[in-house]
A and B are shown apart, each in its own frame.
Chain A
């Protein structure tokens, strides 16, 4: 094989990578994340965090709510590529969504939106829905008080 052919072969491998293009896009260009600096001034109505760094995944979500609708969603994640991508895609799904609908989001919905995940990643890396539910509960708890 000449050099060009070898390069093409490696490139092909890239294209049929472990993760889908949607996962890759959210991993390399995550949407709606919040840096620590920004978090200081971010006025959230609800915050939720799940996971543990010992297990390798932690997700934190911030939401802002108006008229029972999520009007903004931000996040931070510690974890592998699919963990980052699934939180990122979730944030794009819920902005503009009614709270009652957001509560019903399942890991399967997130995975579908990502165009699928490798089997081994499904259990460990999709925790975003739980973080979101915690954020909503946090908001609803505050409202009662």
Chain B
């Protein structure tokens, strides 16, 4: 049985065109981009080209693109490279742990942090952000699209505020790379994080856009690569692959979004026909590939393992798979921490390039059985 992969927000496969673009940079053009000889220069040219391609998509200067090792690393750079003792950061309570745990670490070092609460749909308003601004606010960091519930925040409007108030604005766009506008001039952001492993590129590559005007300190020390912000020999094949992937993804965006939205809305409609089921996050202001639902009376790990047995790969916000024994902070943020059971019973289905309407139809049939089977032996579902 072939598994149907519906977990594209966790990571994507490397698409063949991308792999092809990378291959020669492993053993043929293997030079260090920092070397003066032509073997080194070939590698340097490759990352220069990748930087140019990326900069064109973001509508920024190539020098404003910093390649890193992951989304997490870019986020750490953007936050730790800016905030110092006494500074204030504004973020939300549904950010990825890469943001939240970095902020929590900085709080111990004398940085003040405001975690704006999202509403029941997972959204914050520009007014909330504006109200939270203090004299010492140095940085606003808000995800473009949420990794669990896919909701899209009003980045451009928040950016307007940050510009007016002269506060740095970073957006974590890890989930947005394939689906949303990445033009930083439209978004009004000073920094933006992307990662390659979510856009059909290789793992182990991230990117941080840093506007020329931003005064950022390095958090790693060593060589002068990447404007001195990211020392260490560059991951040449990875960077080439990332740029190729982003370029193709953005080119296909419009058409693919329509196709995916169609499947997404079908799934939402059919899953909500299962009794006592809830859609988590705004139904429309969400990524074209994200569905997140909670089923009353059943626990997420049980659902995903039974789905796996039937050949469908999805993920859950249940504590049982988090390793921390805490269910999803994102789902808890929607309904309150006294409604943990909604988080325990949540399932995230994220679609991708190969997902078809037919996959969606089969999935609906299977999950209906799985949920009713588990509800049958659940003492809390009545």
Contact B320 A36 (CB under 8 A): no
Would you call B377 an interface residue if the criterion is a C-beta within 8 Å of the partner chain's C-beta atoms?
A: yes
Question: Which residues of chain B are within 8 angstroms of A81 by Cβ–Cβ distance?
Answer: 301-302, 305, 320
The reply to whether B341 and A54 form a contact with Cβ atoms under 8 Å apart is yes
Rounded to whole Å, the gap between the CB of A131 and the closest CB of chain B is 9
B44 interface contact, C-beta 8 A: no
Chain B CB within 8 A of A144 CB: no
Stretch at the interface among A25-33, A107-115, A135-143: A25-33
Q: For this complex, into which size category does the number of interface residues on chain A fall? A: 20 to 34
State A79–B378 Cα separation when bound (angstroms). 8
With both beta carbons as reference points, the residue of chain B lying nearest to A3 in the complex is identified as B2
Given contacts A28-B306, A79-B299, A81-B305, contact A54 B377 (CB under 8 A): no
A7 to B1, CA, bound (A): 9
Q: Considering the chains assembled together, what is the distance between the CA atoms of A73 and B379 in angstroms?
A: 15
Closest to A77 in B: B377
Residues of B within 8 A of A130 (CB): none
* Cα A125 to Cα B318 with chains together (Å): 13
Known interface pairs A56-B320, A78-B297, A78-B299; A27-B305 also in contact (CB < 8 Å): yes
Name B's A-contacting residues (CB within 8 A): 2-3, 297-302, 305-306, 309, 318-320, 323, 325, 327, 338, 340-341, 344, 376-382
The 9 closest A-B pairs by CB, nearest first: A80-B320, A80-B301, A60-B379, A76-B379, A53-B341, A54-B340, A33-B377, A78-B378, A56-B344
Could you pull out 29 A-B pairs where Cβ atoms are within 8 angstroms?
A: A27-B302, A28-B309, A30-B377, A33-B377, A35-B376, A36-B376, A36-B382, A49-B379, A53-B340, A56-B299, A56-B340, A56-B344, A76-B377, A76-B378, A76-B379, A77-B377, A77-B378, A77-B379, A78-B297, A78-B298, A78-B379, A79-B299, A80-B299, A80-B300, A80-B302, A83-B299, A121-B320, A124-B325, A125-B320
